[in-house]
Each structure stands twice: as structure tokens, then as C-alpha cells.
């Protein structure tokens, strides 16, 4: 086999961690470079009844890409961008290509792959597909699922399947669930098959985009602005991100240029594409008008324009989870870690939901979570740092109560990072026994010996 498969302890240790704070050392590591190598590993694993957990860049926050059972199959070396077709706006890529590399390659053709996890420079296309990743611009473009046309997938026994979205516009041949095989693998977290290659749908790359960082004195005012921005017909934001005062301070610390976040203030960051028939000034005026009527601290609004400036805003946004991950890592020695949520509610319910879950934590004597993220989608991230094992236990109880509340008001326990190993116990809060049985039936049909990614999701 080209590439390597090894039981060397040093190599195994190199794959023991993702961004979850958990550590799991696999029994062996395979690093295939070609499709036949993957097939060989899977056939061998099936014959020997060995578990196989596939990993991309291991940026998972849920322990989904680590294992202490069987083989860790790292696809990071399977990373070629095979083809970009300007006419059909399609890219064909191997699963180990980084999301940011695909974007860079598409940009040369005036195109873009829309999914934009803030970890795009440290996550792969296979990982994005397997987690149905999303990001700030999901508000406009939708999650990864919408931007995948076809997949080449290796099943647990080594059979390779090529699946595509329907070419016809109407189809009544059997269950829609059975017709669309691409969706079997989106969000499957390595449990149903190994994504080898993907055919991605690209979008035209916008030529002019305006970003605005709008500060507010209170969370309440900032979140009212978010809802109003979604409901103002003349505005078409591609993202609306919220930073509470603690998160804004981290973003600001990463770049003094984000002066608006200074002091104890919350921040909303939004971007809009200047579309045909619109002008830069017209778009800007629309946002300033809304800011004035919604108690924004308008003197401190900051505007971002041009690739470099927008990339800087994005880097500051990324600094918040990256910093919180570092803080979590520092607590590991004492048995603590970062505990992060990615629940979401219908966007109009967000202010009430945040107030309720902050009260749950406060009542239990837990310090406030650093809260930030995709408010336009009703989807904040809450990051707690549990300093030791006892606090970890207490924090997880609070998260459990939070998720019960979120589900009770029509929300989801996991809007973008998937379930992995860490959130598996919460899944029955949201999915009924029948739904879980249907998922188990699909898993059994594709992976009857339950060899793929044990411990993830189910």
C-alpha cells in the first residue's frame, strides 16, 4: 500500500487529539494516498473486524475524529483539487483538500465554494461534508449540504459507490430518503462511509462586499438589531454575527483596529454583497439608517472593504474560538476543558433563549459563558472553561439543562459541529425513538458490522 499504515506509538500519538479537549490513542494509523489504499484498509478491517475512524484535519470539537478503537484513517494526504469547471461552476476535489485551498483555487476562476466554517484553513472538504459544516455566511448561502452535487464514497466493506443529486426535477420512484444518496453521507460523521471525492457546486465570487462592525451598549439592543436586520426588506446580509462583551474583547485584543469593541460593549458584525443595481453607498446608508434607529453606538461603527480588510475581520472572528480552545487546553492538566455549545433556535427566539440559559447558569453559580456567533441564524456559541474535573461535571449538567430548554422552544442541540462522542448523550432530547431507529437501520444497512467511527452519533 502506498502511504503508510503503522502501529508506531509516536505516530499514533500524533493523531490522539482533535479540538474537543479529549485524548484517544488509536491502535494503528493509516495514511492512504490513493483510492486503492483506502479500499485495502477497509477490506482488511472488515476481514479482521477492526474498527476504522476516518479523520480529516482533526478540527472537530466533539471528539468525532479521534478513537481508541482500531485504525485511525487519516485522509489528509488525499488532497488534490482535480478539476474546476468554470462553465458548469463545479469543482472536483479529493476529500483531504483544505476548504481554504478549494476556495483559493475557485477564486482564480472568479468562483467560490460557499461553505465558510471559520476553521476553513484547518479543516478538510471531507470533514465539512461529514459534519455538514456551516459558518457566518450560511445565513445567505445555506450549509455545506446545499453545495455538494456528488460524492465518491468507500463503504465499510471496501465497495466504492458514486452518488449524485437527482438530474430530474421530479421523482416518485420510492422514498425520497432512498433516492438522494448524497444526503446519506452529509453529516454522517464517518459512520456510514469514507468520502473519497466530492463534486462541489460553486457560486460566482462577489466583486464588492461591505462589512460593518456595529457596537451596542447592551446585549438586548444588539440582538434586537439582529432581528431587525433580518426583517428589513432593503437589506440582504450574508452574515450577522454577534459578540458579547467578553467575546468582543478577545476579537479586539487580536487586532486593535476593531476599535468599536473597546470597553464593555457588545458587537454585531455583518456583511452584505453589493449586487447588480445597488451601489456601495446605498448599501452602507441602509445599514447606517438601521443602526441609528436601533440604539447602536454609531460613532464607533467600523467599515471593512476589500479582500484584505474583510480577511482581517474574519481572522478576528476566528480568534474567539481559537483563544477559547487555548484556554480550555490550559485546564486539561486539572481534568478541565472548554465546554462549548452550538445549539440554535428560531432567530426571533434568540434574545429570550439567551436570557433563559444565562439564568440557568447563574442560578447554578456558574460564571457566564463567552457567547458569540451566528445570531442571524439564531445560533450562538457558548464557551465555558471548566477549570477542573468537578467544574466540568457541573458545567455539563448546566449544558444538559440548557439543551432541554432549547429543544422545548423548537431549537436544535447541534447546529453546526455535529454530535461526535461528546454530544451523543443529548441526541435523544431532540430525536424520537423512531427517528433514532431509522438512523440505526441506515447504519446497519451500510455498515452491518458497525466498524465505522464507533462512538460517533449513535
* Residues making contact with ligand FAD (CB under 6 A): 18-19, 53-61, 64-65, 75, 95, 117-119, 123-124, 126-128, 130-131, 133-135, 189-190, 194-195, 321-322, 325, 416-417, 453, 456
Q: Compute and round to an integer the Cα radius of gyration of the chain.
A: 22
Give the residue at shortest CB distance from ligand FAD.
127
CB of 129 to ligand FAD, least distance (A): 7
Angstrom distance (rounded) from CA 117 to CA 209: 18
Q: Characterize the bridge pairing of strands 194-201 and 209-216.
A: unpaired
Residue placing its CB nearer to ligand FAD in the complex, 59 or 371: 59
Burial of 299 (0-12, 13-18, 19+ CB in 10 A): exposed
CB of 28 to ligand FAD, least distance (A): 16
CA 66 to each of CA 28, 190, 334, 356: distance values in angstroms, whole numbers, following the listed order: 12, 11, 21, 34
Q: DSSP strand E in 181-223: where?
A: 194-201, 203-204, 209-216
Residue placing its CB nearer to ligand FAD in the complex, 118 or 302: 118
CB of 390 to ligand FAD, least distance (A): 25
CB of 213 to ligand FAD, least distance (A): 18
The angle at the Cα of 163, spanning 159 to 169, to the nearest 5 degrees, equals 160
Residue placing its CB nearer to ligand FAD in the complex, 59 or 402: 59
Angstrom distance (rounded) from CA 271 to CA 181: 34
Query: Is 399:373 a contact under the CB 8 Å cutoff?
Result: no
Contacts 24+ apart (CB under 8 A), 319-326: 319/250, 319/251, 319/253, 319/254, 319/255, 320/243, 320/247, 320/250, 320/251, 320/370, 320/372, 321/118, 321/119, 321/381, 321/383, 323/250, 323/254, 324/250, 324/370, 324/383, 324/385, 325/19
Residue placing its CB nearer to ligand FAD in the complex, 119 or 302: 119
For 2-142, where are the alpha helices, taking DSSP H only? 9-14, 35-48, 99-107, 125-131, 138-141
| Residue that has been written with the C-alpha cell 453559580 in this structure | 365
Residue placing its CB nearer to ligand FAD in the complex, 199 or 300: 199
Residue placing its CB nearer to ligand FAD in the complex, 115 or 351: 115
Angstrom distance (rounded) from CA 259 to CA 273: 23
CB of 218 to ligand FAD, least distance (A): 26
Residue placing its CB nearer to ligand FAD in the complex, 65 or 291: 65
Residue placing its CB nearer to ligand FAD in the complex, 291 or 340: 340
Angstrom distance (rounded) from CA 224 to CA 229: 9
CB of 244 to ligand FAD, least distance (A): 17
Helix (H) or strand (E) holding 266, with range, is strand 266-273
CB of 192 to ligand FAD, least distance (A): 8
CB of 18 to ligand FAD, least distance (A): 5
Query: Is 387:367 a contact under the CB 8 Å cutoff?
Result: no
Residue placing its CB nearer to ligand FAD in the complex, 190 or 286: 190
The angle at the Cα of 423, spanning 421 to 427, to the nearest 5 degrees, equals 115
CA 446 to each of CA 76, 156, 392, 451: distance values in angstroms, whole numbers, following the listed order: 24, 7, 36, 10
Residue placing its CB nearer to ligand FAD in the complex, 382 or 456: 456
Residue placing its CB nearer to ligand FAD in the complex, 58 or 272: 58
CB of 156 to ligand FAD, least distance (A): 12
Residue placing its CB nearer to ligand FAD in the complex, 53 or 395: 53
CB of 289 to ligand FAD, least distance (A): 30
CB of 420 to ligand FAD, least distance (A): 6
| Residue that has been written with the C-alpha cell 432549547 in this structure | 406
CB of 377 to ligand FAD, least distance (A): 11
Amino acid at each position: 500500500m502506498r502511504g503508510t499504515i503503522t502501529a508506531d506509538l509516536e505516530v499514533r500519538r500524533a493523531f490522539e487529539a482533535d479540538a474537543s479537549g479529549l485524548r484517544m490513542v488509536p491502535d494503528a494509523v493509516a495514511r492512504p494516498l490513493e483510492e486503492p489504499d483506502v479500499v485495502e484498509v477497509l477490506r482488511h478491517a472488515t476481514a479482521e473486524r477492526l474498527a476504522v475512524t476516518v479523520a480529516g484535519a482533526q478540527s472537530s470539537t466533539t471528539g468525532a475524529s479521534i478513537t481508541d478503537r482500531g485504525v485511525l484513517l487519516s485522509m489528509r494526504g488525499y488532497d488534490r483539487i482535480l478539476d474546476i469547471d468554470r462553465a458548469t461552476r463545479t469543482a472536483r476535489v479529493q476529500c483531504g483538500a483544505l476548504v481554504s485551498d478549494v476556495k483559493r483555487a475557485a477564486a482564480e476562476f472568479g468562483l467560490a465554494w460557499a461553505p465558510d466554517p471559520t476553521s476553513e484553513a484547518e479543516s478538510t472538504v471531507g470533514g465539512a461534508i461529514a459534519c455538514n459544516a456551516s459558518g457566518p455566511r450560511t445565513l445567505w448561502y445555506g450549509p455545506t449540504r446545499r453545495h455538494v452535487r456528488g460524492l465518491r464514497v468507500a463503504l465499510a466493506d471496501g465497495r466504492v459507490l458514486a452518488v449524485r443529486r437527482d438530474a430530474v426535477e421530479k421523482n416518485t420512484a420510492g422514498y425520497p430518503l432512498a433516492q438522494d444518496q448524497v444526503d446519506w453521507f452529509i453529516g454522517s460523521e464517518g459512520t456510514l462511509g469514507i468520502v473519497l471525492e466530492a463534486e462541489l457546486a460553486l457560486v460566482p465570487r462577489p466583486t464588492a462586499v461591505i462589512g460593518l462592525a456595529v457596537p451596542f451598549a447592551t446585549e438586548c439592543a444588539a440582538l434586537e438589531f439582529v432581528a431587525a436586520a433580518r426583517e428589513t426588506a432593503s437589506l440582504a446580509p450574508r452574515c450577522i454575527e454577534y459578540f458579547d462583551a467578553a467575546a468582543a474583547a478577545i476579537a479586539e485584543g487580536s487586532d486593535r483596529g476593531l476599535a468599536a469593541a473597546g470597553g464593555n460593549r457588545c458587537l454585531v458584525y455583518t456583511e452584505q454583497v453589493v449586487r447588480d443595481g445597488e451601489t456601495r453607498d446605498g448599501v452602507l446608508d441602509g445599514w447606517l439608517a438601521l443602526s441609528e434607529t436601533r440604539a447602536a453606538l454609531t460613532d464607533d461603527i467600523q467599515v471593512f472593504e476589500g479582500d484584505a480588510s474583510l480577511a482581517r475581520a474574519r481572522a478576528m472572528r476566528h480568534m474567539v474560538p481559537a483563544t477559547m480552545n487555548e484556554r480550555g487546553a490550559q485546564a486539561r492538566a486539572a481534568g478541565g476543558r472548554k465546554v462549548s455549545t452550538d445549539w440554535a433556535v428560531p432567530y426571533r427566539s434568540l434574545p429570550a433563549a439567551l436570557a433563559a440559559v444565562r439564568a440557568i447558569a447563574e442560578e447554578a453559580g456558574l460564571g457566564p459563558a463567552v457567547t458569540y456567533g451566528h445570531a442571524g441564524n439564531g445560533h450562538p456559541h457558548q464557551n465555558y472553561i471548566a477549570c477542573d474535573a468537578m467544574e466540568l461535571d457541573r458545567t455539563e449538567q448546566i449544558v444538559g439543562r440548557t439543551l432541554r430548554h432549547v429543544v422545548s422552544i423548537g431549537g436544535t442541540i447541534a447546529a453546526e459541529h455535529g454530535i461526535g462522542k461528546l454530544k451523543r448523550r443529548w441526541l435523544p432530547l431532540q430525536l424520537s425513538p423512531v427517528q433514532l431507529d431509522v438512523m440505526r437501520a441506515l447504519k446497519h444497512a451500510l455498515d452491518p458490522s458497525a466498524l465505522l467511527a464507533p462512538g460517533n452519533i449513535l
